[in-house]
Chains A and B, each alone.
Chain A
């Protein structure tokens, strides 16, 4: 099973910030948190990743709690093109550091 938990769906108004949560309570000290998104039926696209510090790039910001058991992906000004399924994964599992398993993700719908 995937080692992350995400809400199945969320809505966001266009132009507002979209905050997508992820729980990863069993994350180990050397595991990174990665976020990807999948638009329609295309291959997933990398967004951002982090270990313990907050991260920002041109697409999004990633906030990781101090205990590292949860994180939030922030799309600061959501547009209609951000409508997609967003996946939070940890790189590696308790059993193997190389397999990368996805959960069901969060389906974000940005509304006009």
Chain B
């Protein structure tokens, strides 16, 4: 099993551009999460999903959108990138019986 895979690893965006951060897991986990981590800070929950077709907002959802059309994939969309969205983004998944498994992160810089 590859676990949780995030792509890309690094990205630089210009203000106003859009992009999609990809996250896929091969563990058949129902629950998936997106977090952001600003330098020197803890993780903030952006969005999460309890299964295909179901998503919900976390602590800091503004400026982001998500979809969950399959169990495996949970992409995070930035429509109009802003410098405040410069951060490291982590995707995670779990089942009812397992703890969170994290990906290796996507480092995004908006200039």
| Pick from B48, B59, B92: contact of A43, CB under 8 Å | B92
| Residues of A in contact with B, size category | 20 to 34
Assess the A102–B48 pair: CB atoms within 8 A.
Answer: no
Q: Report A74-103 residues with CB < 8 Å from chain B CB.
A: 85, 87, 96, 98-103
Is A44 at the interface (CB under 8 A from chain B)?
yes
Instruction: Using known A-B contacts A87-B42, A103-B42, A104-B42, determine if residue A98 contacts B50 with beta carbons closer than 8 Å.
Output: yes
Assess the A34–B104 pair: CB atoms within 8 A.
Answer: no
Per the CB 8 Å criterion, the residue count for chain B at the interface is 26
Q: Report B10-59 residues with CB < 8 Å from chain A CB.
A: 31, 33, 35, 41-45, 48, 50, 56, 58-59
Contacts across chains A and B counted by CB atoms under 8 Å: 58
Q: How far is the CB of A49 from chain B (nearest CB, A)?
A: 6
For the complex, give the distance between the alpha carbons of A42 and B43 in Å. Answer: 12
Assess the B92–A99 pair: CB atoms within 8 A.
Answer: no
> Which residues of chain B come closer than 8 Å to A102, judged between CB atoms?
35, 42-45
Assess the A100–B33 pair: CB atoms within 8 A.
Answer: yes
Q: Describe B's contact surface by its main secondary structure.
A: strand
User: Which residue of A has the minimal Cβ distance to B99?
Assistant: A46
> Which residues of chain A come closer than 8 Å to B44, judged between CB atoms?
102
Instruction: Using known A-B contacts A43-B90, A44-B43, A104-B41, determine if residue A36 contacts B100 with beta carbons closer than 8 Å.
Output: yes
Using a CB–CB cutoff of 8 Å, the interface residues on chain B facing chain A are 4, 31, 33, 35, 41-45, 48, 50, 56, 58-59, 88, 90, 92, 94, 99-105, 107
